[in-house]
Structure 1
Amino acid sequence: MTTFSTSRQLAASPSLVFGAMKDAERLAKWWGPAGFSNRFDVFEFKTGGKWLFTMIGPDGASYPNEAIFLTIEADRKVVIKHVNQPHFQLTITLEAFSGGTLLRWDQTFDDEVVAQSVRQIVEPANEQNLDRLSVVLGLSEG
């Protein structure tokens, strides 16, 4: 297994950050790398809930995704299992601190060979996700 980890200090409360995850309309605005948009077909934001969506790249290419929400702890943690290839589990944790929220993003791939083959895409894409989240939260300009 291989895990790609990043973190970000956000000048927003854990409840505001969590709100940008549980609201499908807001999540669709920031999920994915820069230049991508999303179409959510199923979004059951609950433990065991399904999430079926298509990410649309800047070139118009469609990337179908299927995931399950394994864990949801309001204002604290969301764990997502990516069901289609590439298989991974994403754990997003929110920790309050005096200036807002420390967000930790840990993406663990089941197959180390697959992880290494997508490393050059995943590492910058995860940072771009958090950049886009900052814009949705009103913490920076897009």
Structure 2
Amino acid sequence: MTQHSDATLATERVLLASPRQVFTAFSQPQLLARWWGPEGFSNTFEQFDFRPGGRWVFVMHGPDGANYPNGSRFRRIEEDTLVVIDHVVAPLFTLTVRLTPHGEHHTHLAWAQAFESAALADKLRALVVPANEQNLDRLQTVLSTLGAA
């Protein structure tokens, strides 16, 4: 999938947690299931193989009772610094999450979701941008339960 800036929806956040803690919130399925998705959503993980090439198959359950099957493959993982995920069911996209230390006990998180076209990114922008912000709000809430950085 070619990454063009007009096909990418991105957000950044400084989180009150170490890069190790943020990475743990991605790598541990029991933590990831608690925060993945917009406000009001929950998850049932069917397969979670956190390694390059590993599959992640799950269902997101919406607050209205609707179920959203998801399938992803972990493309690249660098401990405490990078997670790249290919979403392999529609809509197709690659999510790149970069973690950088930011002062003491903080992490700068850069979240870039590259869709297969600018048209698709434009079509999904109104849904994806606020959903990603809610996702990161939920991540910060989970991180606050992990204790000292």
TM-score, normalised via structure 1 length: 0.95
Question: Does 1:71 pair with 2:76?
Answer: yes
Unaligned runs of 5+ in 2: none
Counterpart-to-counterpart distance in 1, 2:85 and 2:12? 17
Counterpart-to-counterpart distance in 2, 1:53 and 1:114? 23
- How many percent identity over aligned positions? 50
- 1:97 CA drift (Å): 1.8
Name the counterpart of 1:126.
Answer: 132
Q: Which has the higher strand share?
A: 1
Counterpart-to-counterpart distance in 2, 1:21 and 1:91? 12
SS state at 1:98 partner: coil
SS state at 1:129 partner: helix
Write the deviation string for residues 94-130 of structure 1: whole angstroms up to 9, x where unpaired.
Answer: 0002141000000000022222111100000010010
Counterpart-to-counterpart distance in 1, 2:90 and 2:43? 18
Question: Does 1:48 pair with 2:90?
Answer: no
Name the counterpart of 2:122.
Answer: 116
Q: Which of 36, 45, 62 is the aligned partner of 2:67?
A: 62
Show the 5 A alignment for 1:1-142.
Answer: 1=4, 2-99=7-104, 100-138=106-144
Counterpart-to-counterpart distance in 1, 2:89 and 2:8? 18
TM-score, normalised via structure 2 length: 0.91
Write the deviation string for residues 67-94 of structure 1: whole angstroms up to 9, x where unpaired.
Answer: 0000000100000000000000000000
Unaligned runs of 5+ in 1: none
Could you list the structure 1 runs, at least 4 aligned residues long, displaced by more than 4 angstroms after superposition: none
AA of the residue aligned to 1:86: P
